[in-house]
Amino acid sequence: FTSRLVLEQLNTSGVFEAVRIRQAGFASRILFRDFLGRFRILAPKSLQQRIISRQSPQDDIDCVKALLEAIPEAVAVAGGMEAGGLCVGKT
């Protein structure tokens, strides 16, 4: 490997740009349905039932928003997190 060639490949393949995007705070993009599947265990039982019975993409969005509101309380015993530290994107 030559340093110049490796650097050129990293630049042209977008690796450095991906690192910059992740460092800017956009590190994870998960589909709403996948997010609900992974993290519904953090929701109160009533919200878990709503998540399981959702029927449309709009239901997914509404359930994600409700889950994001519930997460800070759910993780409080493990050190917690600031309310409002999570946000919803378009996917």
Please state the rounded mean pLDDT for residues 55-70: 90
What pLDDT is stored for residue 70 in this prediction? 85
Average pLDDT, the chain: 82
How many Cα atoms sit within 13 Å of 30 on the Cβ side? 14
The distance of Cα 70 from the centroid of its chain, to the nearest Å, equals: 15
CA distance linking residue 6 with residue 4, whole number of Å: 6
Percent of the chain residues topping a pLDDT of 90? 15
Please state the rounded mean pLDDT for residues 58-87: 81
